[in-house]
Structure 1
Amino acid sequence: MAEILIIEDDVAIHSLIKETLDLHGYNTISAYSGTEGKMLIAQNNVDLVLLDLMLPGMNGKEFLQEIRSYSTIPVIVITAINDQNWIVELLTNGADDYITKPFNVKELLARISIQLRHASKFSVGNSAEIQYKDIRVNLDTREVIINDQTLSLTGREYAILLLFLENPQKVFSRANIYESVWNEPFFDNNKTINMHISNLRSKLNLANTAYIKTVWGIGFKFD
């Protein structure tokens, strides 16, 4: 079963999450600060992180920025802040999803399941690599390299890139991308797709090619 790291310093909330996940068969690891969480990731094979933001020492935002420098592990942020600008900043800085406090445990379980299902979609048993022009992707380590430089991608950005790499020249509507990557019905959420595409384009700038093309009135393609 998946190994989930809980980084939450509120003992009551931490206990609620742990008991819920244990009850549903997940293996859990507990951390009460960002520094402790970083250490546990280095020591364990963690499949997903549940991350509080207001943490002692290294806070959640700092933890997220650091972990994204070397890992695409799915991270769901748990926060009491319900401000859209703040949420957009979190997603831009590497969060794969978020849930606001107080939360429904059924919703939390559903979001965890979606992230794990999506991550496992691209896991392989044998070493495999995708190469397209200047881009190399190691499917085992989820490492993305352009011109000998490693990119730091979020889980969503990595999934969108793989979708394009597996289907070069195919035109994807925003609904196609959202439903393939998020595994949820698309509800005209153009802002979310546009933000992730914009971030991915910026990170691919190391290449000598503008890979992601906008097909006006339809969506995007990888060329």
Structure 2
Amino acid sequence: MTKVDDRADPEKGALATKVLVVDDEPQIVRALRINLSVRGYEVLTAGTGAAALRIAADKQPDVVILDLGLPDIDGIEVLAGLRGWTSTPVIVLSARTDSVDKVAALDAGADDYVTKPFGMDELLARLRAAIRRGAAEAGTHEPVIETETFTVDLALKKVTKNGASVHLTPTEWGMLEMLVRNRGKLVGRKELLREVWGPAHSTETHYLRVYLAQLRRKLEDDPAKPRHLITEPGMGYRFQQ
């Protein structure tokens, strides 16, 4: 019997590619692990949303295959957690066939949506396409950002200061997340307003002053002399690590 040389596989180029499979159905995880492994992919697995976010932060996979029906956190929330810090391609693999679910997943940042039951060949083709897009964009950042006074976990959407959790309102978090994701860069006032409050509020610049003052009171050691949440007069704001 002739031994098949793995190196001749047409997907050999994926040798170092890490794929995180997030699903709580053992048979699906097993099928994906087998099919991906024999093609040279490194396969990571998670059965819960919390584990998925933890593994993604630690191992930084090149692509994620994500089920929406997880036992602890809805897949849409996992997707939002990932998109808080990385542009790694995410393929949703779900039994939910309703167009509303598909739209919600795509709006939350999914790159593709495959319904169960699925054909392995089609999924592998979509996986290769997602990996090519991800390689072209190469937009991954560290999920945990530390300053001398506070830490921001973009994946878990948590902020701590001196070891204690800091409660932020959804709007405060939205503003902080936008600044941290663009750390070191100037974020214009209109851009920040559109991202956090929506297009209808792109001229409401007083919102920014109010919420930035609240963030400084919660996070800066000296809110009157901020070191990390910086105002660029007449232009916008900057997060300085």
Structure 1 length normalisation: TM-score? 0.56
TM-aligned CA deviation for residue 148 of structure 1:
6.7
Displacement of 1:123 after TM fit? 3.8
State yes or no: 1:119 paired with 2:134. Answer: yes
Give the match for residue 187 of structure 2: 147
Distance 1:100 1:146, change over 3 A: farther
Q: Percent same amino acid at aligned positions?
A: 32
Instruction: Name the residue aligned to 1:39.
Output: 54
- Checking the alignment, whether the CA contact within 8 Å between 2:89 and 2:133 is kept in structure 1 is no
Distance 1:54 1:92 in 2: 17
> Counterparts in 2 of 1:154-193, with a 5 A limit?
none
2:60, 2:81 → 1: CA distance?
17
Letter in 1 for 2:90: V
Secondary structure in 1 aligned to 2:28?
helix
Question: What is the distance in 1 between the residues matched to 2:29 and 2:57?
Answer: 21
Structure 1: tracts of 5 or more residues without a match: 125-141, 152-198, 208-223
- 1:66-145 aligned at under 5 Å gives the runs 66-123=81-138
Residues 86 and 123 (structure 1 numbering): CA distance in 2 closer, same or farther, change over 3 Å?
Answer: closer
Aligned letter for 2:114?
I
Higher relative contact order (CA 8 A, sep 6+): 1
In the alignment, which residue of structure 2 is the partner of 1:157?
Answer: none
- How far, CA to CA, are the matches of 1:148 and 1:7 in structure 2? 36
Distance 1:41 1:122 in 2: 18
Distance 1:50 1:143 in 2: 26
Distance across 2 between alignment mates of 1:115 and 1:78? 13
Q: Which has the larger radius of gyration?
A: 2
Q: How large is the RMSD of aligned CA atoms in angstroms?
A: 2.8
- Asked if structure 2 preserves the Cα contact closer than 8 Å seen for 1:33 and 1:59, the reply is no
> Deviations 1:143-170 (Å, cap 9, x if unpaired)?
6966179x9xxxxxxxxxxxxxxxxxxx
> How many residues in Structure 1 have an aligned counterpart in Structure 2?
140
The 1:96–1:146 alpha-carbon spacing in structure 2 relative to 1, beyond 3 Å, is: farther
Q: For 1:143 and 1:21, how far apart are their aligned partners in 2?
A: 34
SS in 1 for 2:109: coil
SS at match of 1:107: helix
Counterparts of 2:44 and 2:87, CA distance in 1? 18
Question: TM-score scaled to structure 2, two decimals?
Answer: 0.52
